[in-house]
């Protein structure tokens, strides 16, 4: 058996390993998963699934500190935030247990025309079938919970491929499910080659494919899915924020700093483009730069670190290149704008980078926030809407009419008022629009998408 080595992204020291998977192993799981889905006598009962998830949740509570440290150690998320992720993952298990009791159908009225007379009809919900999950590195435990636990909750066998940089949390979570009583044939973690990964995703036995990662990979895999395979894709955005002249900057700046520099900007709805009214843009940008300068950058496993490393040294090179391009194009670097090491980049605030700069058009996935001046809010909204991505957005204002105007006109699936774009709870809908995704995330919505609604019509 060959093993894949996992490193701490700050100092690149080896911290663990996971076994790699060959196609024969994946093929055997999919064969058994298909058999389980077809044999209704093999389906686990609702109370059995709930009991397994509850035991797994209790195990996670006992190991909370260990899980949080592992998140920080393999993913570079500061320990203070990794603890929050571990708590969210534990709460996500409880949400899944709740959703088991919420999976129900509806009565369909049949007497609306004479054609329906004498009939009763209602629906129930059944598991859709085998699920394949492919996940991202930036929340190595909670994303796995979002993709795997709903499958367990509704009764779908599931095979999951974590990000190659952060597989430890995923493999441990699957082990916890097995320890809690889930038969191994119902859930498996794998670290396959790229070719085997694509073969797994596009296999005709797959009923549902859930993907979190880059748009290029997600849309490419969707185009190759077997006919009949349903899917949910969660990509990224270039999150826009409108800050008008009535905004409370003392409240806005800490929120924007958290939304922009949390996990060093490696979040799909991280604050990236801030459009500030010309009367307050200099003050806002200056205060945001001061907040960024105060952040401590270092190894995420240290208690006082607020910004960890980027996931790979190549990402530091890319971010540095994008910032230099913006600087050369006339953007002003108010703070940061430099590598701190092979694996870290200084939290950076750019003022008025060019609209055609890469950093103004694409998701930076790094610790950089761009601030742009505007005079007319409709112009700012038009600039915010000009890209092919659309996810979460925000507006900071003390004017209700202004808040509603932005809400109605900005392209987004969710608009936060006086809060940053990266706000999320695990039970709310989380939806990428345009190239930012397909389908709806959030545990209740994922549980729904992993089931089918089946109708019975009785003529009597």
For residue 431, is it within any domain?
Answer: no
Q: What percent of the chain has pLDDT over 70?
A: 100
Query: Residue 360 has which token pair?
Result: 């103004």
Same domain, 245 and 188: no
- Please name which of 289, 359, 283, 293 lies closest in space to residue 327, comparing C-alpha atoms: 359
| 3-state SS, residue 231 | strand
Same domain? For 320 and 259 the reply is yes
154 and 127 Cβ atoms separated by less than 8 Å? yes
**Do 169 and 243 fall within a single domain?**
no
Structure tokens at 242: 């409108």
Answer whether residue 385 is part of any domain: yes
- According to the model, what pLDDT value does residue 261 have? 98
- For residue 356, being part of any structural domain is answered with yes
**398 in the same domain as 276:** yes
Asked if 401 and 448 sit in the same domain, the reply is no
Contacts of 15 (CB under 8 A, 6+ apart): 6, 7, 8, 73, 74, 168
Helix (H), strand (E) at residue 69: helix 64-75
Same domain assignment for residues 115 and 70: yes
User: Is position 52 within any domain?
Assistant: yes
The H helix count followed by the E strand count for the chain is 15, 19
Largest CA distance in the chain: 77
pLDDT grade, residue 420 (50/70/90)? very high
Query: Which helix (H) or strand (E) covers residue 444, if one does?
Result: helix 443-449
d(CA 59, CA 343): 34
Clarify whether residues 89 and 18 are in a common domain.
yes
Q: Based on the fold, state whether residues 229 and 253 are members of the same structural domain.
A: no
| Beta-bridge partner residues of 133 | 160, 210
Residues 6+ apart with CB under 8 A from 204: 226, 227, 228, 229
Q: For the segment 365-400, what is each residue's pLDDT rounded down to a tens digit?
A: 999 999 999 999 999 999 999 999 999 999 999 999
**Separation of alpha carbons 191 and 394, rounded Å:** 37
Question: Is residue 134 located within the same domain as residue 78?
Answer: yes
Residue 388 lies in domain? 239-425
Cα distances from 257 to residues 251, 280, 341, in angstroms, run: 11, 17, 22
Confidence of residue 64 (pLDDT cuts 50, 70, 90): very high
The domain spanning residue 399 has which CATH number?
3.40.309.10
Q: What is the mean pLDDT of residues 272-277?
A: 98
For 314, other C-beta atoms within 10 Å of its C-beta total 9
In the structure, what pLDDT confidence band is assigned to residue 460 with cuts at 50, 70 and 90? confident
The CATH code of the domain that includes 84 is 3.40.605.10
Based on the fold, state whether residues 156 and 225 are members of the same structural domain. Answer: yes
Residue 321 in any domain: the answer is: yes
**How far lies 107's CA from each of 48, 172, 191, in Å?**
27, 41, 44
Residues 398-410 pLDDT 10s: 999 999 999 999 9
pLDDT at 1: 75
pTM of the model: 0.95
Q: Quick check: is 365 in a domain?
A: yes
Domain assignment present for residue 430? The answer is no
Q: At 312, is the pLDDT very low, low, confident or very high (cuts 50, 70, 90)? A: very high
Local structure of residue 43 (DSSP, 8 states): P
Give tens-digit pLDDT for 357-369: 999 999 999 999 9
Q: Are residues 257 and 229 part of one domain?
A: no
* Contact status, residue 330 vs residue 354, Cβ threshold 8 Å: yes
The answer to the question of residue 396 being in a domain is: yes
**Residue 210 CB neighbours (<10 A):** 27
Nearest-angstrom CA–CA distance, 291 and 289: 5
**Do residues 98 and 215 share a domain?**
yes
pLDDT score for 194? 85
Sign of CA pseudo-dihedral 117, 119, 125, 127? negative
Number of structural domains (the chain) is 2
Reading the block at residue 309, the tokens are 């490393």
């Amino acid at each position: 058996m060959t093993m894949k080595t996992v490193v701490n992204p700050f100092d690149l020291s080896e911290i663990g390993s996971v076994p790699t998977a060959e196609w024969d192993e994946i093929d055997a799981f999919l064969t058994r998963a298909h058999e389980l889905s077809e044999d209704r006598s093999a389906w686990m009962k609702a109370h059995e699934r709930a009991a397994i998830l509850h035991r797994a949740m209790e195990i996670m509570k006992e190991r909370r500190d260990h899980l949080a440290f592992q998140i920080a150690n393999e993913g570079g998320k500061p320990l203070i935030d990794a603890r929050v992720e571990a708590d969210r993952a534990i709460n996500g298990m409880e949400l899944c247990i709740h959703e088991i009791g919420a999976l129900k159908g509806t009565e369909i009225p049949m007497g609306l025309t004479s054609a329906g007379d004498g009939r009763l009809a209602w629906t129930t919900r059944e598991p859709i079938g085998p699920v394949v999950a492919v996940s991202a590195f930036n929340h190595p435990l909670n994303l796995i919970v979002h993709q795997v636990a709903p499958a367990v909750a509704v009764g779908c066998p599931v095979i999951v491929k974590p990000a190659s940089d952060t597989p430890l949390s995923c493999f441990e979570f699957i082990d916890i499910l097995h320890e809690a009583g889930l038969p191994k044939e119902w859930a498996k973690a794998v670290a396959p080659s790229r070719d085997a990964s694509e073969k797994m995703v596009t296999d005709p036995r797959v009923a549902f494919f859930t993907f979190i990662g880059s748009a290029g990979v997600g849309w490419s895999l969707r185009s190759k899915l077997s006919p009949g395979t349903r899917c949910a894709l969660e990509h990224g955005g270039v999150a826009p924020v409108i800050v008008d002249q009535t905004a409370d900057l003392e409240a806005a700046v800490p929120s924007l700093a958290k939304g922009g520099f949390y996990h060093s900007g490696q979040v799909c709805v991280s604050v990236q483009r801030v459009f500030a009214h010309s009367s307050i843009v200099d003050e806002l940008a200056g205060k945001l730069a001061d907040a960024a300068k105060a952040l401590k950058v270092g190894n995420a496993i240290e208690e006082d670190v607020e910004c960890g490393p980027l996931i790979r040294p190549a990402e530091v090179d890319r971010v540095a290149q994008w910032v230099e391009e913006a600087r050369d194009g006339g953007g002003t670097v108010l703070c940061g704008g430099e590598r701190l090491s092979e694996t870290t980049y200084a939290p950076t605030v750019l003022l008025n980078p060019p609209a055609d700069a890469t950093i103004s058009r694409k998701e930076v996935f790094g610790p950089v926030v761009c601030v742009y001046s505007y005079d007319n809010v409709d112009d700012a909204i038009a600039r915010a809407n000009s890209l092919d991505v659309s996810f979460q957005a925000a507006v900071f204002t003390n004017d209700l009419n202004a808040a509603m105007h932005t809400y109605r006109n900005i392209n987004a699936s969710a608009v936060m008022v006086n809060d940053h774009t990266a706000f999320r709870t695990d039970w709310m809908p989380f939806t990428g629009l345009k190239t930012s995704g397909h389908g709806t995330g959030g545990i209740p919505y994922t549980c729904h998408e992993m089931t089918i609604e089946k109708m019975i019509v009785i003529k009597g």
